[in-house]
Amino acid sequence: MKALIVCVSVSHGNTRKIADVMGQVLQARVVEPEQVDIAELADYDLIGFGSGIFFQAFHPRLRQFVRSLPEAERGRAFVFSTSGFPPVFRPFVRLVERKGFEVADTFSCRALDTMPPFKLVGGVNKDRPNAEDLAAAHAFAEGLRSRAETATRAR
């Protein structure tokens, strides 16, 4: 299985920590949207899309990247995020699906959030992502890998 993770991590590097753990399990490159050659997406069996959540939405750079993709029949994908509060996945998942991906699963964990008004108190979730969150990301990626390998053997 060949995997790629497209990640935007701008505030505290939290999303990149999660992406790196998943990338190790999936043996996937972790790249920013600007580093992706759209033509090469067809070479991957699984593509992850992730960012921090900003005002209840995935980062604008990631949303714009997905919007820029031509609609085509594509492979499997997964969506992940880090956020101060539970994210709203559905709008972004629908966008990814409209571009031809089958979204296999989603993952989220809490992370340091210093957006206003939380900045006044030094942020929320100051100790996150923690070892437990990284272990959960690892287990999530193992599940993705296992399901992908099973599907490949079934063909």
Residue spans of the domains in the chain: they are: 3-154
Q: What is the pTM of this model?
A: 0.87
Q: Which residues have a Cβ under 8 Å from the Cβ of 78 and sit 6 or more positions away?
A: 46, 47, 48, 49, 103, 104, 105, 106, 107, 144
- Residues of the chain above pLDDT 70, percent: 83
Neighbouring C-alpha atoms within 13 Å toward the C-beta of 87? 25
The Cα 136–Cα 147 span in angstroms is 17
Please give the CATH superfamily to which domain 3-154 belongs: Flavodoxin domain (3.40.50.360)
pLDDT tens sequence for the chain (155 residues): 899 999 998 876 789 999 999 999 999 999 999 999 999 999 999 999 999 887 788 999 999 999 999 988 889 999 999 876 666 789 999 999 999 999 999 998 876 565 555 554 555 456 757 899 999 999 999 999 998 877 766 65
